[in-house]
A = this chain, B = another copy of it.
Amino acid sequence: MSFSLLRHLTPVGHANSLRWGALTTGGRRLMSAVQATQDSMTGELTALPDINPSRLEITRNPNPATPPPSSSLVFGHTFTDHMLTIPWDVLSGWGTPRIQPYGPLALEPSSTVLHYAQTLFEGMKAYRREDGKVTLFRPDMNMKRMNNSAQRIALPTFNGDALLELIKELVRIDKHWIPKEPGHSLYIRPTLIGTQKAIGVGPPNEALLFVICSPVGPYYPKGFQPVALFGTTEYIRAAPGGTGAFKLGVNYAPGVMPQKAAAARGYAQNLWLHGPEHYLTEVGTMNLFVVFRREDGAVELVTPPLDGMILPGVTRDSVLTLAKEHISGTKKLPGLPDNLIISERPVTMKEVKDASHSGRLVELFGAGTAAVISPVDRIGYLGEDVLIPTGPDGMGPVSRPIWTELVGRQTGTIPSDWSVVVTD
């Protein structure tokens, strides 16, 4: 009994790694040994080991690849030499974190992720600054959201700071994969899946957290290109009481077929609407912003409120925060109108359409980690195209100054505490 426990609390580099099979065999005894208690309300086990960076085991890839030329990169197709894996088990908590050669996962065909979509993920980027330092952008936001996502689909939660430490170590090991060219970065994909080997629908008794990294180029390699959206009244992304506010796999598969349908009509992405009022919610896989010029001359930056259907995007929050700092005078952004108003409020297609017709629509854009800012020039809606003004390079008078500040903070040309140094 105590032997199992000691093995489990073994220090970094111990040769005998803990196997899930062993856990199952000695599970009950191990559980009593660590005084695990079950929360009567949530059923969750407490007092089990959390993610522990000091237990990290590293196995170097014996056959490292040569990173391909940056010009050849296609988003999410190339992966670095290593990945991070951390197993979890309901009886013993989080197991040994491992950085190991990138390679296939052996998953039982009964694994619940393959049947019931028990998966969630995050999207982060590591940037190589001009001074050579490697940084992450607001990674605490991703760790917090990842835990919120886990709670929503009964996957295990964890110490976000601990996972972040391990992600930093992974980035350090593969830092030569971060392209040096401007606008490039290393896209980081933390993922958490349910791996219970039984096809009952319920909270999984096993899970696997893994992190993979992919070098990526700029989303718009030839400069900003405004996109056309299809305002779909046929399909939805989210609904009240659903999962739209969480970064879960389940929010993505259902959008692919509507995306194909929009593309067949000549539009780049869907504009997801809600309810008979056709409230605007999100753009493809991005948050949405609209800018109106009000009758009193003020410029209103609008984004739908976090009402349970909207993903709390890191870029969304950053855009709002920068606009608020501009208004408060904490940090004025050159070029951004002084008479700016920020509204987190519902906005309907009728309002957007009316503003387009009356000339009070200033711009409309998506915001997300992959594209940062994605300007929109028209929306196909109920058989007509609603036209949206765009600036000379796509972005408008509000998005341009915000984008400049945001990318400056991401790449480190503008100092801020949003940029977290991984390695010198």
A110 touches B (CB below 8 Å): yes
A257–B194 Cα distance when bound, in Å, is 14
- Let me know if A257 and B119 touch, CB within 8 A: no
Contacts of A234 in B (CB 8 A): 241
Of A27-35, A243-251, A289-297, A403-411, the one touching chain B: A243-251
Contacts of A214 in B (CB 8 A): 110, 199
Pick the contact of A152 from B210, B232, B254 — CB < 8 Å? B254
Give the number of chain A interface residues (Cβ < 8 Å).
68
Contacts of A222 in B (CB 8 A): none
Contacts of A257 in B (CB 8 A): 151-154
- Let me know if B102 and A104 touch, CB within 8 A: no
A153–B41 Cα distance when bound, in Å, is 36
A193 touches B (CB below 8 Å): yes
A43 touches B (CB below 8 Å): yes
Q: Mark A90-117, 1 if CB is under 8 A from B, else 0.
A: 0000000000001111111110011111
Pick the contact of A200 from B76, B108, B109, B203 — CB < 8 Å? B76
A418 touches B (CB below 8 Å): no
- Let me know if B43 and A117 touch, CB within 8 A: no
Contacts of A152 in B (CB 8 A): 254, 257
Contacts of A343 in B (CB 8 A): none
Known: A152-B254, A241-B236, A252-B116. A109 touches B210 (CB 8 A): yes
Contacts of A260 in B (CB 8 A): 42-43, 154, 203
- Let me know if A154 and B236 touch, CB within 8 A: no
Closest to A210 in B: B109
A210–B118 Cα distance when bound, in Å, is 18
A152–B255 Cα distance when bound, in Å, is 9
- Let me know if B114 and A191 touch, CB within 8 A: yes
- Let me know if B83 and A109 touch, CB within 8 A: yes
For chain A residues 187-239, which have a beta carbon within 8 Å of chain B?
Answer: 189, 191, 193-194, 197-203, 210, 212, 214, 232, 234-236, 239
Closest to A44 in B: B260
Q: Mark A276-320, 1 if CB is under 8 A from B, else 0.
A: 000000000100000000000000000000000000000000000
- Let me know if A75 and B254 touch, CB within 8 A: no
Contacts of A249 in B (CB 8 A): 114-117, 250, 253
Q: Mark A63-92, 1 if CB is under 8 A from B, else 0.
A: 000000000001111010001000000000
- Let me know if B253 and A118 touch, CB within 8 A: yes
A242 touches B (CB below 8 Å): yes
Q: Which A residues fall within an 8 A CB radius of B? A: 40-43, 74-77, 79, 83, 102-110, 113-119, 121, 151-154, 189, 191, 193-194, 197-203, 210, 212, 214, 232, 234-236, 239-243, 248-250, 252-257, 259-260, 263-264, 285
A–B pairs, 20, beta carbons within 8 Å: A41-B264, A76-B199, A76-B200, A77-B200, A79-B109, A79-B110, A104-B108, A105-B106, A105-B109, A113-B113, A114-B193, A117-B117, A153-B256, A154-B256, A154-B257, A189-B199, A201-B252, A202-B256, A239-B239, A242-B242
The list of the 5 closest CB pairs from A to B, nearest first, reads A117-B249, A239-B239, A76-B199, A117-B117, A236-B241
